[in-house]
Amino acid sequence: MARTLGRNSDTTPTAQESFAQAAAIGLAATTLGLARFGYAVLLPAMRTDLKWSYTQAGGMNTANALGYLAGALAVTITTAVIGERRTFALSFTLTATSILASGFTTSYVLLLLLRGLGGAAGAVLFISGGALAARVANASRSPGLVLGAYFAGVGPGILISALVAPTVFNTAHGWRMGWLIMGAVAMVSGVVATRASQLITETPNAPHGRPAPLQRLAWAVAAFALFGLGYISYMTFIVAYYRETGRTVSEIVLFWSLLGLASAASAWFWRSLLDRAHGGTALAALLAVVTAGAALPLASHSAAAIFGSAILFGAAFLSVSAAITQLIRQNLAPHQYAVGLAAAITLFALGQVIGPVMTGVLADWSGSLKAGLAASTVFLGIAALVATRQPHAGAWSR
């Protein structure tokens, strides 16, 4: 990659260059996928080996979500002090370290702290990477594809965690090896993504600019918060739910692999929708697909429902973040991207704090994960309805 990408470039990058740049930066999303969603594969083995209740297991992702919330609140300060690219590199190192270190302890408290650190660093990584990807999108003929490529980076992370599942389930203390493998992948990804980020021109903060008009995004951000509450419960407990209902290791590996593959392909699938849509249209449509995917395993235990859930949920849930970022691009100035993303992800993180514990408490109370997963699906459906209220960007003057 020889060109520097962003609005301030002297030359316009080709579509292939923009896509490749976004995909390289998207290794940040891959690492976030390992840190956040890899835990779902490891959870059943950790719960058995470490004798956790569902509430304790959910508490791990609540710690991660609390850290994520702290990171979302801190990112605008960090980027203002050291810049987006340095913030991106530092947070990548901390996120990868938290994954790797989780394989070296059985202490609930230490694992809780590492989940919190991974959440905080992961939020900073995801937001700073998203802001860089938005600048690449500014110079692209298909911003929807570029943004989709960045957020779809989570998909390979999910797929990698699926590939370690046999080791996790069939080896004594295999969950520890799972963390070590995922941590090593994250470390290598950090080197590649950090080098790619150096080719993107940063836009300095406007010292006397108007505050970001975040009220323009009120309905979309509210829907995003509800999405955070609902989707994280599915991604935390769906593997445990299938284990609870008697599914084999090979079936779970196939399910998680399909979800990861569908996630990785989502950038291409929703490209036209994200490019053309204004207002909440794309966001609402994507949330409706996510809701359908979450509802399928509750309606039926058939193979068609299980694998259909993986494809529907996987194909849409990452593009929800791409749709929010597209709305931020349409409503805010480039120097306000990080602020807009931080605001959206802060409320999103609040939803994630509540979701896993809510699901865990309902599961312990009812004796099954189905009640908690059903509640989270309802919140996803409400999110889709709320998103329809988000107006067209043209309703406001820039």
Q: What is the DSSP letter of 334?
A: G
Which of 116-130, 195-209, 329-343, 377-391 has the least mean pLDDT?
195-209
How far is residue 165 from each of residues 111, 112, 182, 288, measured CA to CA in Å? 20, 22, 11, 29
Please state, in angstroms and rounded to a whole number, the distance separating the CA atoms of residues 194 and 21: 11
Q: Report all structural domains of the chain as residue ranges with CATH numbers, in order of start.
A: 15-201+214-395 (1.20.1250.20)
Per residue in 17-42, pLDDT (tens digit) is: 777 888 888 899 899 889 888 888 88
Q: Please check the confidence at residue 398 and state whether its pLDDT lies above 80.
A: no
pTM score over 0.85: no
Beta strands in 146-279 (DSSP E): none
Quick check: 312 and 266 in contact, CB under 8 A?
Answer: no
Give 397's contacts (C-beta < 8 A, 6+ positions apart). Answer: none
Q: 208 CB contacts (<8 Å, ≥6 apart)?
A: none
Query: What is d(CA 120, CA 69) in angstroms, rounded to the nearest whole number?
Result: 7
**CA pseudo-torsion sign 86, 91, 94, 95:** negative
Torsion sign across C-alpha atoms 150, 155, 160, 165: positive
* Side chain identity, residue 173: H
More confidently predicted of 14 and 370: 370
Q: Angle 27-50/54-82 helices, nearest 10 degrees?
A: 150
Look at residue 360 and tell me whether its pLDDT is greater than 70: yes
Task: Name the pLDDT band for 203 (thresholds 50, 70, 90).
Answer: low
Can you tell me the distance from the alpha carbon of 315 to that of 34, in angstroms, rounded to the nearest whole number? 18
Find out whether 138 and 7 touch, Cβ atoms under 8 Å: yes
Do the Cβ atoms of 239 and 43 come closer than 8 Å?
yes
Residue with token string 């939803």: 351
Asked whether the beta carbons of 39 and 236 are under 8 A apart, the reply is yes
Q: Is 16 helix (H, G, I), strand (E, B) or coil?
A: helix
According to DSSP, the residues that pair with 200 across neighbouring strands are 5
For residue 242, the Cα-to-chain-centroid distance in whole angstroms is 22
Name residue 53's amino acid: S
Alpha-carbon distance values, 73 to 29, 166, 168, 348 (Å)? 19, 37, 34, 12
- Residue 5, helix vs strand vs coil: strand
Report the candidate in 62, 161, 175, 46 with the shortest Cα–Cα distance to residue 119.
62
Q: Residue 52 — left, alpha, or beta (φ > 0 → left; ψ -120 to 50 → alpha)?
A: beta
Distance separating alpha carbons of residues 141 and 239, to the nearest angstrom: 39
Tell whether the model's pLDDT for residue 292 goes beyond 90: yes
- pLDDT per residue over 218-270, tens digit each? 899 999 999 998 998 888 788 888 888 888 888 888 998 899 899 888 878 88
Nearest Cα residue to 148 out of 355, 352, 326, 336: 326
Contacts of residue 259, Cβ cutoff 8 Å, sequence gap at least 6:
158, 162, 310, 311, 313, 314
Kindly report, residue by residue over 144-178, the tens digit of the pLDDT: 788 888 888 888 888 888 888 888 777 778 899 99
101-114 tens-digit pLDDT = 999 999 999 999 99
Cα 49 to Cα 57: distance, rounded to the nearest angstrom: 12
